Structure 1
Amino acid sequence: MSPVSKGRKRKPGNRARKTGTRRERPGVSASPLEMKLPEHGVDVAAYLEDLPPQASVDEIQEVLDRRMFVMPYYGTTIRGEDYPRLNPADPDERRLLIEGEHPEYHDALADPAWDGEIDGVNPRLHLAMHEVIANQLWADDPPEAWRAARRLRGQGTDRHDVLHELMGVMVEHMHPTVVRHEPFDPEAYRRALNGLGGDSAAVAGRPPSHKTYRIKVSIAGSEPMIWRRLSLPGDTTLDVLHRVIQVAFGWEDCHLHAFEAKGRRYAAMTYEPLEGALDERAVTLAELAPRKSSRLRYTYDFGDDWVHDIVVEATEPMRGEPTVVCLDAGRAGPPEDSGGVWGYLDLLEAVADPAHPEHDDRLEWLGEGFDPAAVDRDAINAMLAACGSSMTGTAL
């Protein structure tokens, strides 16, 4: 049985379960080109039309995240004229959407003879730079622009200010070309982007930790304790750690999640990011848990509230290539949607007692082959190995 996909049926709706607010992640469906973005119903195809048919789910999600950041709107109003449905993938229509984001410049832009500044900004130059950055991010060329945007977002910078930071770098490197007719230096531009948001974990070229971490991840409140002992690079970013935990416990990644450390919350930057959360892709395990006994917390499924306590047991110099390995484990991972710790205990109690009034119903849902005491560490490691470099922190 796969440690990730258990193929279980949905549990009957009349079961007792822990209450809570669930905010489902609008993940990519089996037919992503037919999806609608939840807030305004625009076709996802507008954001994915140039993707190859063999693109993976992760690649599709990355492109959606990036392009939804570039242009989260599909309609605008400019000088009283409505444009209710524009295609953000079309450069000309994307230019209109960008102009629509700047109503303070509309009158100036409508006057061909107008030449001046508004609050110290040349409207035409500002929109031209905004368009250049939007086009770079849309095409992911250079990729350093999106990496810089992710770092800044991970530090809590909002979209408007991220774009302005990127535009500032572009203006600085375009100035010698425009004013002195010097050749544009793309490598210098890329280096400057790599330095943007330099306090973040995700800065390209940051010194690696060169450490291997041994961590213990335990489901809080489980009795007997459900836990995994893992070895992984200190440079593992939280989005990768999320995937490692999903594999290690057999979760199916069908609900929202978040990390908590040092008084901050980190989560995926999806269409509907968790309020106040920073970008989990922009910080590493080593930064949040730098030494032995450091702790952080991972919560999965805000309805069932599966809280995973993570503690650093040891750090040591890395030897050889970075790998992710499950060193030891205790007990099977709980089924999805089993009601959290208390719901899961109720489930096991009903399954273990043939006289329980819900025994047959619960057993049918769970399946007779499920053993709560069993854990297949070899299967977990096979799955981690199959995930390849994306589980080493070297590929995001």
Structure 2
Amino acid sequence: MALTNHDLIELTAWRRKLHQHPEISNEEQLTAREVVAFLQDTKPDQILTGMGGHGVAIVYDSGKLGPTVLFRSELDALPIHELSGVPHASQVPGKAHMCGHDGHTTILAALGRQFGRARPARGRVVLMFQPAEETGDGAAGVIDDPRFAEIAPDYAFSLHNLPGVPLGEVRLRAGTVNCASRGMRIKLSGKTAHSSMPETGVSPMQAISELMPALPRLGRASFDVDEFRMVTVTHAAMGEAVYGVAPGYAEVWACLRTRLDSNMSELREAAEALVTDIATRHGLSLEIEYHEIFVASVNAPEAVEHLRQALDELSIAHSEDDLPMRASEDFGLFGHEASSAMFFLGAGEQHPALHNPDYDFPDDLISIGARVFMRVAANLLGEGSAPATQLEQELRGQA
């Protein structure tokens, strides 16, 4: 099966529509509805909505025994004001698709259009339109949804566009491709005082002046080795914006990052011990919270081989260059449930970087990404066939 020129025109227009109406993490209600509406006429065998928040799972079932293959995209945009200047720029101030999730979603919609015309020969395809990737909530929410058991995949695949790589080339490797990370929010409480008598209070000033250089020093090893770990201080605030009050409260935010999940607990313990020691020495009470928790994304060798086979059959250039990446990606959790792999699709060597205000997803990648996923599905499930009858689906469920 192949997308027609008419398909590509409609898919491109739809991608740009999504781009104009971005919704950030955990707010993707209208985007989810748009996905369901766009694929309704493909007559899916099952539609699950509200998964992990606003996630949507659309199932195309052959009615015959075989593996379940899940393809995943993300629905959410970012809280960034767009400065791309394209005609289809965001119409929502302060929010924009600056990571390409609108394009990834369109690639999955292209699969839905093709599986609507012809089901796989065996097994099932699940198109998982996941919410809240940017905050790390989405994959966990989807997997924790009791209905996930209905679509439990044997294989899970995803992609992400990657600026800096030639357009249409692929980066792929087995093993870690994205780091584990978590946001550490440190709250230090003392006692405020009049600024003319700071000695009567307990200020966090000395504590945060120690913390901000000490936390990054917990990092170690080159990124080239599995022992790599990094701490980046991302925010600090102390007291009120006034001259008459000596502060009694402060916050420091830091991002902890490791190549392996097994090293994250060690780094977290070291950071907590450091913060506790400094807070205690300065007479401060301490509270620590964690946010935006991402496990490492680790590509399973078997799943990688299926992707490599598809790329070779399609004559798409690929290498292990630029991998792994320091950035995090919550697709890693699907690897705890299935044989999974993510590949990275070049967006152009001079293309604006992800999360930059002038970024826009290259529409040329829609057909490339869809072709790769379709070839993977064909290799695992066989060439497309007519939609399964209701009787065939019932027999499959009884088997």
Question: RCO greater where, 1 or 2, for CA within 8 Å and sep 6 or more?
Answer: 2
The verdict on a shared fold, with TM-score over 0.5 as the criterion, is no
- State the TM-score, normalizing by the size of structure 1: 0.25
**Larger strand proportion, structure 1 or 2?**
2
